[in-house]
Amino acid sequence: MKVFWTYVCLLFFSNALFATEVNIYSARKEALIKPLLDRYTEQTGVEVNLVTGKADALIKRLELEGANSPADLLLTVDVGRLHRAKQLNLLAAVESQSLNEAIPEIYRDPDGFWFGLSLRSRVIVYAKKSVSSERLSTYEALADPVWKNKICVRSSSNIYNQSLVSSLVAHLGEEKTELWAKALVSNLARSPKGGDRDQIKAVSVGQCSLALVNTYYLAGMMTSKIASEVTAASKVGLFWPNQNGRGAHVNISGAGVTHSSTRKEEAMRLLEYFAGEQAQAWYAENNHEYPVRAGIAMSETLKQWGEFKSDQLALSKLGELNTSAVRLMDRAGWK
């Protein structure tokens, strides 16, 4: 009997140490992540159960589920959301030499709560027909009255815009950034609406001359199977702001192990896989995002835009300044 119970205990602890499945809450669409997860399962035998949804809804779901949440890993876009999940005590700190070596310090949480997995930049796109790239320079210059009624942008409720403004607060201070935001609003060609693709389309048909968008949206339209998207993308150019100064604003898609996870080691191993060379190369080629890991080739589409200087601000700062950014955008009348 003693031998039997010894066997049962060993079996229990073996299964606990080597989990056969892991659960992900992902704000990335299934098509943008599932092939990687299938490959991971093939290589490790670990089944990955995927739940996809809107980023804010998944964070709220984690919050409501609390300690009973089945999620082991939260995968989402924009550091602002990862910071919010950390503040809500939804993530657990992990220590991984592999992750620390693969991911630059500025692209991961200083306490180990979240890790960047891919990069994107928020850039200026312009109408090739009516605007010369020589007239463009910085984000700050978008406040110039010369762009009156010529700029399109998403709502201030959009996290990508909030993080861009947070970066300006970090570099310029809150007072100067608020003045910039007010001037930007006065230069808008229309009230903020739609997503990044809608801003690109608006520029392509002359509703505005400039727009702020994330790089992967333009890349996605350039390689789209929808002819109208390819046509719209062909009519706009991409400009890297602030190349003679701090560099273009960048952000991440990233992930963190959940506080509720009962499989934290397995979740961390999956995170390490995402940061590995194979997964980074797949991300770069298929999602048109920049690898967070050095030495990984970009997609052919991204290569067309050449090298660029990126802002070296620690992205954790964007999350810390999010509340200040949102408040000043509201005061500036950015709807």
Within this chain, domains 2-119+251-303 and 120-249+311-331 share the same CATH topology: yes
Q: Which sequence spans correspond to the domains of the chain? A: 2-119+251-303, 120-249+311-331
2-119+251-303: CATH topology: D-Maltodextrin-Binding Protein; domain 2 (3.40.190)
Q: Please give the angle made by the CA atoms of 196, 292 and 197, to the nearest 5 degrees.
A: 10
**What's the mean per-residue pLDDT of the chain?**
92
pLDDT tens, residue by residue, 54-74: 999 999 999 999 999 999 999
| Per-residue pLDDT at 159 | 94
pLDDT of residue 19: 55
| Dist. CA 228–CA 117, nearest whole Å | 31
- pLDDT attached to residue 30: 84
Q: What is the pTM assigned to this prediction?
A: 0.90
pLDDT < 70 regions, the chain:
1-19
Burial bucket for residue 197 (CB in 10 Å: 0-12, 13-18, 19+): middle
* Predicted pLDDT at 240: 98
Q: Which pLDDT score, from 0 to 100, does residue 1 have?
A: 44
- What is the per-residue pLDDT for 13? 36
Query: What is the DSSP pairing of strand 250-257 with strand 73-77?
Result: antiparallel
CATH hierarchy code of domain 120-249+311-331 = 3.40.190.10
Token pair 């949804």 is found at 53
Burial letters for 148-161: b for 16+ Cβ neighbours within 10 Å, e otherwise? eebbbbbebebbbb
Compute the distance between CA of residue 264 and CA of residue 276 in angstroms, rounded to an integer.
18
Question: Hey, what are 288's tokens?
Answer: 């048109």
**Predicted pLDDT at 117:** 95
